Amino acid sequence: MTNKKKLVSCLLLWFAGASQVITSAYAGTAVTRPDGDPGLRSSAVLITDINGQIVYARNPAEVRSIASLTKVMTAMVVLDAKLDMEEPLEITREDRDLIKLTGSRLGFGATLSRGQLLHLALMASENRAASALGRHYPGGTATFVAAMNGKAQALGMTDSRFSDPAGLDPGNRSTAKDLALMISAAYDYPEIRQLSTASQLEVYPYDDRGPLRYVNTNRLLKNKHWDISLSKTGYTNESGRCLVMRALIDGQPMNIVLLDSFGRLTPFGDSNRIRRWLLKG
C-alpha cells in the first residue's frame, strides 16, 4: 500500500471512530453518542434525552406490536377524563381476554376502585384492570379506544394505532419513535410516574377473602443502580419483550424504548448495557 493510500485509510478510520452521530428522525438535530456499540439485543431501540434528541437508535421507525405498553396510553386517557378515582368498578365477563386467553387473579365479581385498577394496570400489567377501565369510560370501550387514537394523533404519534385498552390485540402498533413521544407526554402525569414505579400493592377485591398482593413487572426498580421515574413492560408473541422507561443516568434524564427483545430478561439486560455504555461515554 502506498503512503497516500495509508493516509486516506487512517483518516477514514479516525473519522469513523471520533464522532458517531445519529440524526434525529423527528427533530432534525444531530447528537453525538459515546464511542463503540452498546451491543443491544432488542430489534428496535431508541434512546433520547428529554429534548427529543437521539442518543442511540435502531429501527426507530419500524411499526411493531407493542403489547402492554398500550396501558400507558390507557392511563393518560383515563386521567384526561378526570373520572372519580374512588368509584368502585366491578370486573365482569366482558373483561375476559378472548384474544390470548390469558387468566387473571381478578375473577368475575371482583370490585376495586378506579384508582386501584389504574395502579394494577400500570404496575402489574393487569389486563382485566385495563379492560374494566375502558369499559367504564363514558360511552364504553369503543369510545375509549377512539379517545386513545385521538390522543396519539394529538401527540404526533402518526404511526401508532390502538385497538384495545390492555394491549392484547396485536393491532396495538407503534414505533420506537412514537413511543418516545408517549413517554415524554406520560411523564407530565404525576399519577403515572408514581403508579408505574411503585414496587407493590395489596388490594381487597372480595369481601369474603384476604388480600391479593401484586408486584411491579420491571425488576430494575429493585436495582440500587437505577433511578427510574416512569416504567412499563409488555409482552405478547407478536411484540416480543418490550420495555419503556424514563430513567436518570449519570444525572441526565433519558427516555429508553426497547421493542421485540428475545428472551424474558433481555430488556433488562439491554437496559444495563445501555447504562454502562452511557456511563463509559
Task: Write down the catalytic residue from 24, 42, 65, 68.
Answer: 68
What beta strand segments (E) does the chain contain?
21-23, 30-32, 42-49, 54-58, 64-65, 88-90, 111-113, 173-174, 200-203, 212-215, 227-236, 240-249, 252-261
pLDDT band at 199 (very low <50, low <70, confident <90, very high): very high
Separation between Cα atoms, residue 205 and residue 276, nearest integer Å: 42
Asked whether residue 14 is assigned to any structural domain, the reply reads: no
Asked whether residue 76 is assigned to any structural domain, the reply reads: yes
Q: Using a pLDDT cut of 90, give the percent of the chain over it.
A: 85
**Mean pLDDT score of the chain, rounded to an integer?**
90
Separation between Cα atoms, residue 1 and residue 14, nearest integer Å: 18
Task: Write down the catalytic residue from 24, 42, 65, 125.
Answer: 125
Asked whether residue 229 is assigned to any structural domain, the reply reads: yes
Among residues 58, 39, 31, the alpha carbon closest in space to that of 252 is found at 31
Q: Is 12 exposed, middle or buried (0-12, 13-18, 19+ CB in 10 A)?
A: exposed
Per-residue pLDDT, 262: 84
Q: Average the pLDDT over 125-145 and give the result.
A: 98
Asked whether residue 16 is assigned to any structural domain, the reply reads: no
Per-residue pLDDT, 19: 30
Is residue 125 among the annotated active site residues? yes
Residue 8: enclosing H or E segment and its boundaries?
helix 3-18
- 31 or 107: which leads in pLDDT: 107
Separation between Cα atoms, residue 35 and residue 20, nearest integer Å: 7
Asked whether residue 6 is assigned to any structural domain, the reply reads: no
Is residue 71 among the annotated active site residues? yes
**Can you read off the three cell numbers belonging to residue 252?**
441526565
Residue 129: enclosing H or E segment and its boundaries?
helix 127-135
Among residues 60, 45, 74, the alpha carbon closest in space to that of 163 is found at 74
Predicted model pTM = 0.88
Task: Write down the catalytic residue from 24, 42, 65, 71.
Answer: 71
CATH number at 221 reads 3.40.710.10
Say how many domains are in the chain: 1
Asked whether residue 154 is assigned to any structural domain, the reply reads: yes
Q: CB under 8 Å to 130, separation ≥6 — which residues?
A: 70, 71, 74, 117, 121, 165, 166, 167
Report CA torsion sign: 200, 243, 117, 103.
Answer: negative
Asked whether residue 215 is assigned to any structural domain, the reply reads: yes
Q: Average the pLDDT over 180-197 and give the result.
A: 98
Which tens digits make up the pLDDT trace of 255-279? 999 999 988 999 999 999 999 999 9
Which tens digits make up the pLDDT trace of 36-48? 789 999 999 999 9
Separation between Cα atoms, residue 192 and residue 187, nearest integer Å: 7
Asked whether residue 128 is assigned to any structural domain, the reply reads: yes
β-strand pairing of 200-203 with 212-215: antiparallel
Which tens digits make up the pLDDT trace of 153-188? 999 999 999 999 999 999 999 999 999 999 999 999
Is residue 280 among the annotated active site residues? no
Residue-range definition of the domain harbouring residue 77: 23-280
